[in-house]
A = this chain, B = another copy of it.
């Protein structure tokens, strides 16, 4: 299967697939004319990559997921641990973004938002109010 077909089947851009090969996540065969030839297995790996990236796994985590998926003797515990780790990272990001949201809301509430140059947001950013 050509890279274009693999792309439509997985939803990944062609460029991204080539990049994944470059960093050793997938290793498609090559035809005589130099074209990549994607086996069904390879496309499955790409699908795993697409899905896992979608779920916020880093490419290094994806690499481990791929290794686990290829290892018939794996323990599901290990996969779960990876997912748990990712979940915790996601939760941390949510927490810090939520803190940020609150701060921004506070600032915005204090700013008149009119023609006047006097602005509580700028005052805060320049440290004129207690920080």
Contact = CB atoms under 8 A, between A and B. Distances in A.
Interface of A: 44, 47-48, 51-52, 55-56, 65, 68-69, 71-77, 79-81, 83-84, 86-87, 90-91, 93-94, 97-98, 100-101, 103-105, 107-108, 111-122, 124-127, 131
B97 A93 contact: yes
A84 to B, nearest CB: 6
Contact of A100 (B55, B68, B120): B55
A39 to B, nearest CB: 14
Contacts of A124: 51
B125 A69 contact: yes
Contacts of A80: 108, 111-113, 119, 121
A112 to B, nearest CB: 5
B115 A75 contact: yes
A104 B86 contact: yes
A106 to B, nearest CB: 10
B127 A76 contact: no
A103 B83 CA distance: 11
Nearest to A116: B76
